[in-house]
């Protein structure tokens, strides 16, 4: 696992994809104030590694487009456990509608990531998930009356301890948002009565290079769906080749 000139001398210990609970999507290798010191690597789902006062974005799952020159939301992509592309984790392909089918290395169905229809975007944010045998996982707008801290406390916040609180200090205001960053998002289980249950995935806030997602540890949601949604969302929001 290489980090170039700006990276540590020794690689970080590998983390199995199902153990990742805090992740970002992109190419950045290192968190620094100066962009020139950050460095770039392979396009990947990355987890946080620390050495002293330095924070590194360690590649955990590698992103490979189905068509090298194609945009990920249009052509689809594959996720691999290794940079060499030998251990296929899942394939994410559009089916011509609003759905992206997610299948494992053997072609078995994991679930789907879907784009919210325009008619529902006043009440629900742009991407949601469905896993066989479970209710839909959606991101309702203005769901958490107590703010993001209250929302993640319903299912995700206790997993990451103080990490969410620290990230909430970055970027836009929770309720109104601003040009400084993207608004927080909580994906929660949609109940039959129209209410929302436990939170299984959160995006506390995006501001500059701070774009982290948190997924519930030991939860029922397959993390491969969370990775697929984040890759699609990041590709649509800021462009697949920019991070």
Tens-place pLDDT, residues 131-188: 999 999 998 876 554 444 554 444 443 333 333 443 333 333 333 333 355 678 899 9
Given a cut of 70, is residue 104 above it in pLDDT? yes
Given a cut of 80, is residue 60 above it in pLDDT? yes
Mean pLDDT of 80-84: 93
- Residue 35 binned pLDDT confidence (cut-offs 50, 70, 90): low
- pLDDT at position 65: 95
Mean pLDDT of 5-16: 67
- pLDDT at position 218: 87
Average pLDDT, the chain: 78
% of the chain surpassing 90 pLDDT: 39
- pLDDT at position 36: 66
Given a cut of 90, is residue 223 above it in pLDDT? yes
- pLDDT at position 216: 86
Given a cut of 60, is residue 127 above it in pLDDT? yes
Q: Which of 39, 23, 21 is nearest to 31 (CA)?
A: 39
Mean pLDDT of 118-131: 81
Most confident of 13-27, 112-126, 141-155, 203-217: 13-27
Looking at per-residue pLDDT, the higher value among 90 and 184 belongs to 90
Mean pLDDT of 42-49: 93
- pLDDT at position 162: 39
């Amino acid at each position: 696992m290489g980090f170039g000139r700006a990276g540590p001398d020794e690689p970080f210990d590998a983390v199995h994809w199902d153990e990742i609970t805090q992740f970002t999507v992109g190419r950045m290798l290192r968190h620094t104030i100066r962009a020139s010191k950050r460095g770039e690597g392979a396009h990947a789902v990355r987890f946080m590694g620390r050495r002293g006062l330095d924070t590194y974005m360690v590649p955990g799952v590698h992103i490979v487009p189905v068509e090298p020159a194609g945009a990920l939301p249009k052509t689809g992509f594959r996720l691999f456990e290794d940079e060499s592309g030998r251990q296929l984790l899942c394939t994410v392909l559009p089916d011509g509608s609003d759905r992206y089918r997610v299948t494992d290395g053997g072609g078995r169905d994991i679930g789907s990531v879907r784009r919210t229809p325009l008619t529902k975007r006043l009440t629900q944010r742009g991407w949601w998930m469905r896993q066989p045998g479970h209710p839909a996982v959606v991101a309702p707008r203005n769901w958490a009356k107590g703010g993001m801290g209250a929302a993640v406390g319903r299912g995700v916040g206790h997993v990451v301890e103080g990490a969410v609180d620290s990230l909430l200090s970055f970027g836009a205001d929770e309720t109104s948002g601003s040009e400084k960053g993207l608004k927080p998002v909580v994906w929660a289980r949609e109940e039959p009565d129209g209410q929302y249950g436990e939170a299984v995935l959160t995006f506390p806030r995006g501001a500059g290079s701070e774009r982290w997602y948190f997924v519930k540890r030991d939860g029922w949601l397959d993390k491969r769906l969370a990775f697929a949604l984040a890759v699609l969302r990041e590709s649509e929001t800021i462009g697949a080749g920019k991070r």
